Amino acid sequence: MKLIEAKDYHEMSMLAAEVILDQIKEKNDSVLGLATGGTVLGTYQQLILDHQQNKTAYQHIKTFNLDEYAGLSRQDENSYHAYMKKHFFDEVNIPFSQTFLPNGEALDMKAECENYDQKMEELGGIDLQLLGIGQNGHIGFNEPGSSFESKTHLVALEQSTREANARYFDTIEDVPTHAVTMGIATIMKSKKVLLLASGLQKSSILYDLFHSDVTSSIPATILRDHPNTIIIADQEALSKLHQDERKMFAK
Ligand code: PGA
């Protein structure tokens, strides 16, 4: 895991967009793994700005999102389908048919999950996976205790995750109880991982990410075993790490 320190959220977003744009320049038909949530929003905004200014082309790019709530229709404004359309897909020239998210309304969820993993394989696997991190260490919706062997699957959300996401819904009761997520094994197959973290609310989990052994009770620690992980975090998120440690992890 290589750490890149950013001053603040804006700088984190700019640096993250640069990593993604480098990937697209290197391979214009890259398969990108995408994430939703507050942390990655600024990165999408930077990519959209770049698209407007520099005409970076997305017509050969394919995308797979990490997760989707179970039981929400893709038209629901809180679905990750709607998030991606609004905050990214509608703003760049990516063909809709090349954007994939799990179907949270699938009647046969097992088949849906298997097909999702198979589609990823067919298209050559994910070149770069963008990730946020939950305050409990989740990546995607792989909550503490998730198996490192897991592929795309249906999960029950932890109460803390539902509380963290309640800000987008009218009441906490409206937050779905389940989601479909890429598994940890799915994420670990990506050739490169880019994890972003911003704000004081992520400072404890970032401290744990750098100090804990690899353990399923903190799912993100598995990234220590990934050969090509970049973490871009801002000063608030890194505030529990000493300067010396930050320098050491930056190497
Ligand atoms: P956030 O979510 O970016 O909204 O903090 C990240 C996550 O839960 O993975």
In the residue annotation, 54 being an active-site residue is answered as no
pLDDT band at 42 (very low <50, low <70, confident <90, very high): very high
pLDDT, position 251: 81
In the residue annotation, 67 being an active-site residue is answered as yes
With a cut of 90, say whether residue 10 has pLDDT above it: yes
In the residue annotation, 87 being an active-site residue is answered as no
Q: Where are the beta strands (DSSP E) in 71-126?
A: 99-100
In this prediction, residues 12-33 reach a mean pLDDT of 98
pLDDT, position 135: 95
Signed CA dihedral, 28, 33, 36, 40: sign only = negative
C-beta 42 within 6 A of ligand 1: no
Question: pLDDT tens digits, residue range 99-135?
Answer: 999 999 999 999 999 999 999 999 999 999 999 999 9
User: Residue 25 and residue 5: Cα distance in Å, rounded?
Assistant: 23
With a cut of 90, say whether residue 185 has pLDDT above it: yes
In this prediction, residues 37-49 reach a mean pLDDT of 98
Question: pLDDT tens digits, residue range 50-68?
Answer: 999 999 999 999 999 999 9
C-beta 38 within 6 A of ligand 1: yes
Q: Where are the beta strands (DSSP E) in 89-214?
A: 99-100, 128-131, 153-156, 178-181, 192-197
User: Residue 127 and residue 190: Cα distance in Å, rounded?
Assistant: 6
Q: Out of 50, 117, 127, 143, which one is annotated catalytic?
A: 143
